[in-house]
Structure 1
Amino acid sequence: MMGQDKLNVALVTGAAGGIGAATARELHAAGFRLVLWDVAGNFPAELAGDTDRVLTQTVDVADTAQVDLALSAVREKWGGVSVLINNAGISPKTPDGKGRGILAVSADEWRKVLDINLTSLLTLIQKTAPDMMAQEWGRIVNLSSQAARTRSTVPGVAYVCTKTAVLGLTRYAADELGPYGITCNAVTPGRIASPMTASAGADVTERLNGNTPLRRMGTAQEVARAIAFFCAPSGDFVSGAVLDVNGGLFMQ
């Protein structure tokens, strides 16, 4: 018999806005204590004000020293992390809103995207899994992208490659950590209204909306509900899964 969640602490990265903030609200409503990370701060006021159940920390997920320091404070306050939502990510664009392709991407951009979109996920899994293993219960949800599931050049090569690799990391973690009662799943959002997608330009949005069966962009809250499903009892026997949230734009 596997354990239960005695810690009841959910860590959400990239939690200042968009999908991260919406996920924080969903998990807060579900009763979790929250640790909210973002490199820029500016967390939702209604969550940041609940100091009994919410700890906000300004953290660069690609900086291991910052990660270690922040997690030390979490363990001192609440004992550890039982739910990890790896949401932080970047998608660099050119001034005209396009992602850089193979011949244009620089080594610096490639490394930065890799560090934030992929390596930080591995680092956080490594550093929080022991908390979950100790109680034989844990939930990990990694944010990938529809760009990892189908042909796409809009976000740029670094983004596409890292988000594709996230799916492999998810499956590997699900396999290795499953015997300890830890599930690991991925959510692949399609076109979601956010500052990141707006940077690609109105013409891209119009074209993709026209190809989407639901004929619209998704909302951060709709993705957050999918993430919350994996953390709820309804998702207890789901692991290694990829959940597409895209209005039907990509169908496998």
Structure 2
Amino acid sequence: MISLCGIVLVLRRVSVISLCGIVRSVCQRFARDGASVVVADISEDSANETLGILSHDLQGQEHAALCVDVSSRQSVEQLITLIQLQYFHPPCVCVSSAGITLDEFLLKLEEEAFDRVLRVNLKGSFLLTQAVSRALVASGSSKGVIINVGSIVGKVGNLGQANYAASKAGVEGLTKSAAKELGRFGIRCNTVLPGFIATPMTAKVPKRVLDKFEGMVPLGRLGEPADVADVCSFLASDESRYITGASIEVTGGLFMG
């Protein structure tokens, strides 16, 4: 369980419909765990919408919604400053799932589309990891947790997603390197790699296509956002105190090997 005084920073980007259900489930899980959750999004309306679904109990939780552009160092640093002003401490857990997709087959993929996806997905993860880590070290905190949400696509690739796959492979490498450097400060860094998760986006996919994907999953079903949220909760808890630099696949066994 997360400490009741813990501050969890969860980042999302409204343009990633497929992650919407995952991130909101993560926020809800951490709120149930007793954490104060800060939802950060490039869209103020989207952040407030997520904030509205979180339960406020009598255990001292104080949730918040803030805006951030993860591809901008200035915006990221301002976000961490605002959190410290409000809670008098940097976030002890940061879950970074901010990202975008601009899919196109490799032969038609524009350079700007490639660069933009890497700016948000990979550079954004770098800026957040660095800013949160610096704040934790400066505060004298003896521990912290950074969870970067990658994708199984970063390991196996996918048609029409050369830019997305490259960015998520980079997120995994970044996180493993950060784990080696930040372990001496008590900061653990891990990556979660979701597979095919049932979200508002998959609800629009024809049933015959969904049935085909389900048939490929050894566990016989698509993942649920809660499946990812549970793993994030585990990685944020003391139950995973000796786990860092790991990549946990949440795929139901899809793409094993």
Residue 46 (structure 1) aligns with:
53
More helix, by proportion = 2
Residue 33 (structure 1) aligns with:
36
Shift of 1:85: 0.5
Shift of 1:61: 1.6
| TM-score computed with the length of structure 2 as normaliser | 0.85
Closer/same/farther in 2, CA of residues 7 and 44 from structure 1, 3 Å limit = closer
2:235 pairs with 227, 230, 234, which one? 230
Tell me the SS of whatever aligns to 1:36: strand
Residue 256 (structure 2) aligns with:
251
**Which amino acid in structure 2 is aligned with residue 161 of structure 1?**
A
Is structure 2 residue 246 aligned with structure 1 residue 241?
yes
**Which amino acid in structure 2 is aligned with residue 83 of structure 1?**
V
Residue 17 (structure 2) aligns with:
none
State how far apart, in whole Å, the 2-side matches of 1:91 and 1:206 are.
24
State how far apart, in whole Å, the 2-side matches of 1:90 and 1:246 are.
20
Tell me the SS of whatever aligns to 1:103: helix
| TM-score computed with the length of structure 1 as normaliser | 0.87
2:112 pairs with 108, 120, 124, which one? 108
State how far apart, in whole Å, the 2-side matches of 1:32 and 1:226 are.
16
Closer/same/farther in 2, CA of residues 171 and 83 from structure 1, 3 Å limit = same
Unaligned runs of 5+ in 1: 93-98
Residue 8 (structure 1) aligns with:
6
**Which amino acid in structure 2 is aligned with residue 119 of structure 1?**
K
Please give the residue correspondences for 1:173-188 in structure 2 after superposition, counting only pairs within 5 Å: 173-188=178-193
Closer/same/farther in 2, CA of residues 73 and 197 from structure 1, 3 Å limit = same
Higher mean alpha-carbon deviation, 207-216 vs 9-18, is at: 9-18
Contact kept in structure 2, 1:171 and 1:185, CA below 8 Å: yes
State how far apart, in whole Å, the 2-side matches of 1:15 and 1:55 are.
16
State how far apart, in whole Å, the 2-side matches of 1:36 and 1:64 are.
18
2:77 pairs with 68, 71, 83, which one? 68
Residue 148 (structure 2) aligns with:
142
Aligned length: 242
Contact kept in structure 2, 1:15 and 1:43, CA below 8 Å: no
Closer/same/farther in 2, CA of residues 247 and 6 from structure 1, 3 Å limit = closer
State how far apart, in whole Å, the 1-side matches of 2:156 and 2:216 are.
14
State how far apart, in whole Å, the 2-side matches of 1:201 and 1:106 are.
29
Shift of 1:130: 2.1
Closer/same/farther in 2, CA of residues 201 and 123 from structure 1, 3 Å limit = farther
Shift of 1:52: 5.0
Contact kept in structure 2, 1:7 and 1:80, CA below 8 Å: no
State how far apart, in whole Å, the 2-side matches of 1:201 and 1:83 are.
37
State how far apart, in whole Å, the 2-side matches of 1:6 and 1:124 are.
23
Closer/same/farther in 2, CA of residues 22 and 132 from structure 1, 3 Å limit = same
Tell me the SS of whatever aligns to 1:176: helix
Residue 96 (structure 1) aligns with:
none
Unaligned runs of 5+ in 2: 15-19
RMSD: 2.4
**Which amino acid in structure 1 is aligned with residue 152 of structure 2?**
Q
1:211 pairs with 206, 209, 216, which one? 216
Shift of 1:44: 4.1
Contact kept in structure 1, 2:69 and 2:75, CA below 8 Å: yes
Closer/same/farther in 2, CA of residues 64 and 138 from structure 1, 3 Å limit = same
Please list the CA deviations of residues 222-249 of structure 1 after superposition, one character each: whole Å capped at 9, or x if unmatched: 1010111100111110011111111111
Shift of 1:207: 2.7
Q: Which runs of 4+ in 1 moved over 6 A?
A: 4-7, 48-51
1:161 pairs with 159, 162, 166, which one? 166
Closer/same/farther in 2, CA of residues 248 and 45 from structure 1, 3 Å limit = same
Contact kept in structure 1, 2:118 and 2:167, CA below 8 Å: yes
Contact kept in structure 1, 2:150 and 2:168, CA below 8 Å: yes
